[in-house]
Amino acid sequence: MTRTSPVAVAAVAEPEATSRAAVPAQGGRSSPFLLMPITLFFLLLGFAVLRSPNLITNAGIGSAIIVATPLVLATYALMAVVIAGRGTVDLSVGPLIGFINVTMIQLHGADIINNPFAVIGYALLVGILYQFIFALIVIYVRVQPIIVSLCGYLSLSGINLVILPRPGGMAPEWMASWGLGTTIFSPVLLILVLATLAWILFTQTAFYTHLRLMGSDERAAYTSGVPITAVRIGAHLISGCFAALASITFTALISSGDPSQGTTYTLIAVTALVLGGASLAGGRGNVFGSLLGAVNLYLITFSLSTFSFGAVQSFVTNLAYGTILVISLLLTLIIPVIQRWLRNFSPLLYFVALSVVALGVILHAATDRVPAPASSTAPATVHAQKLAPIDPAKLYVGPLEVSAPDASEAKLQQAATPIVLSVLMLASIAIFLRIAVTFSSRRSVAPAVALVVAALVLLGAFMMRHAQDVGLSPVPVHEGIKR
């Protein structure tokens, strides 16, 4: 019954085939589907930082990590089974997170599990057990996975409300301190980094190759001797582990139990996964993309929370989610077209190039502008705002203006314009160089080019900040710059 869509199979097969045919020496997997999440990430990052420079303070990044990590891990959990094919979109991932959350809280409340090892072990056990049963049902009862996951969704979200009728309870004390988000380096970051590293290591194994093969074409995998039963069970077990980790970080985030919040994670995690360039038809998924997809969703929420839309805040967020999702899906249609001339797209270099530009924006936002009072108090997370009529002027005008520039700032802008332009020019030169290098198939040049370009652009950003020190600025700049 696995009718894998021919389009998806072609899309999976294509990048490797093209890269191997065009540049045999390169070898590595190029994933053009990362183009979209990376671009979106930097657009959103730049926008968010301009709107609220608080994001890039110690506390800002810390709270971003705390809030985004459960979503990232839930996306990883979803990704493991989505790659396995047969349209296994695990709708029950959210309720599963909720289930682990509420049972953990209740067991802690009853003083049964307290120490960290017991809690983490319990979460992993439940997650793995659930996904194991899921895999067995899919393999032996042979019902479509989406129906199994639908049943899981309904029954788990029902039982969650039975176990904990309304939000409440207390997380273990050692865990509650994780969720403060005052600093970047928290245990949550450690979990995130370890989970990401684990996934990257996992992609190096033969098991992962089998998994992708099975997801692309299960019949081909079966006939070529891949043990598909074992591979499918393995994918589900990995998914269970990530769901457990997601649940732990989720509990740390809210420091209590919440039976209904987990269910919304399903839809958001599916959205994040697709934004990250994975194919729901199976066989295609990327840890980097999923990470960025989830972070992108956080950035959308964050950016929108810097506006005060009042009563319609959550609807604006919904609208933005939906629109960005559909547009980014449509843009994946043009990726085969891009591939025709961009033979060997390197996500890493693209990331580096864009991050340098973003760094410039961040430096600009953090140091050059006086943050307006409205945005300096912008909350890091969305919370209920008071109901008030919206001022139409606020809705339509000035989404990017943090504060009106005064005379000295205008002068500074004038002074900085040529530098900014030259930076942009350098960046475009770098991209052209990169394409040239690709076509000359001399791959040893590429890192050097990237390094030089990065250095040049950083220098440009530095000059923008300390224009008078370098002596390039035609206008003496003084009180416009703070600190």
Partner 1 sequence: MSAESLQLSLPARIIGLIAGIILTAIGVIYGLVQGASVQIVILAGIATLAAFVWGWQFVLGQFAREGERAGDEPSEIRQVWLRFRAPLILLAAILLLFLLLSLTIDGFFNVWNVISLLILLAILVITRTLSRQFQENRSAFIGVMVLSGLFSVGAMKIDGFSSTSNIKSMLLFASFLGIASVGQTLVALLGGLDLSIPFIIGAANVGLLYLIGLGVPPWLATIIVLFVGTLFGVINGFLSYRLQGQALIVTLGTGFAISGGVQILTSIGTAYSGNVFGTVPPWLTNLSAMDGTTFGLPFPPTIAIWGLIALFLVVSMRVTLYGRHLYALGVNRTSSKRILISELRYWVMMYAISGFFSAMTGGLLLGWSGGGFIGVGDQYLFLTLAAVVVGGTSLLGGEGGYGFTVIGVLVLQVLSSFLIGIGLDFQWQEFIFGLLILPMVALYARSPHIRTQI
Which of 192, 294 has the CB closer to partner 1?
294
| 408: CB partners within 8 A, 6+ apart | 477, 478, 479, 480
- Residue for token digits 């994670």? 265
- Which of 100, 252, 67 lies closest to 172, judged by CA? 252
Considering the complex, state which of residue 69 and residue 279 has its C-beta at the smaller distance from partner 1.
279
CB of 273 to partner 1, least distance (A): 8
In the complex with partner 1, which residue's Cβ is closer, 139 or 370? 139
Report DSSP letters for 279-345, one per residue.
Answer: -TTSS---HHHHHHHHHHHHHHHHHHHTS--GGGHHHHHHHHHHHHHHHHHHHHTTHHHHHHH-TT-
Minimum CB distance to partner 1, residue 207 (Å): 19
Instruction: Tally the C-alpha atoms within 13 A of residue 190's C-alpha that lie toward its C-beta.
Output: 6
Residues 6+ away with beta carbon under 8 Å from 445? 437
CB-based contact 18:339 (threshold 8 Å): yes
Nearer to partner 1, 44 or 461 (CB): 44
**Both tokens of residue 113?**
């599990």
Provide, rounded to whole angstroms, the least separation between the CB of residue 131 and partner 1.
16
Radius of gyration of the CA atoms of the chain, in A: 24
Cβ burial of 85 (10 Å; 0-12, 13-18, 19+) is buried
Interface residues with partner 1 (CB under 8 A) are 1-3, 5, 7-8, 87, 89, 91, 137, 141-144, 146-148, 150-162, 165, 218-219, 222-223, 228, 267, 270-271, 274, 279-281, 311-312, 314-323, 325-326, 329-330, 332-333, 387-390, 392
Angle, CA 476 vertex, CA 470 and CA 479 arms, to 5°: 105
Exposed, middle or buried: residue 294 (CB in 10 Å: 0-12, 13-18, 19+)?
buried
List the Cα angle 259/70/208 in 5-degree steps: 120
CB of 123 to partner 1, least distance (A): 21
Residues 6+ apart with CB under 8 A from 359: 458, 461
**CB nearer partner 1, residue 135 or residue 228:** 228
List the one residue out of 232, 226, 234, 230 whose CA is nearest residue 210.
226
Nearer to partner 1, 146 or 426 (CB): 146
Closest CA to 243 of 68, 103, 76: 76
- The residue (of 249 and 271) whose beta carbon lies closer to partner 1 is 271
Nearer to partner 1 among residue 316 and residue 361 (C-beta): 316
Smallest gap from Cβ 112 to partner 1, in A, equals 21
Minimum Å distance from CB 185 to partner 1?
A: 35
Q: In whole angstroms, how close is the CB of 146 to partner 1 at the nearest point?
A: 7
| Between 181 and 283, CB nearer to partner 1 | 283
> For residue 370, what are its two tokens?
């006086």
What tokens does 471 get?
């002596």
Pick the closer one to partner 1 by CB: 50 or 278: 278
**Six-digit token string for 37:** 């999440």
Closest distance to partner 1 from the beta carbon of 308 (Å): 14
Nearer CB in complex with partner 1: 312/431: 312
Closer residue to partner 1, CB minimum distance, 314 or 367: 314
CB of residue 77 to partner 1, shortest distance in Å: 17
Q: Give the containing element (helix H, strand E) for 69.
A: helix 58-83
C-alpha of 243 from chain center:
16
| Cβ burial, residue 195 (10 Å; 0-12/13-18/19+) | buried
In the bound complex, what is the minimum distance in angstroms from residue 429's beta carbon to partner 1?
36
**Amino acid, res. 172:** P
Shortest separation between residue 75's beta carbon and partner 1, angstroms: 13
CB of 162 to partner 1, least distance (A): 5
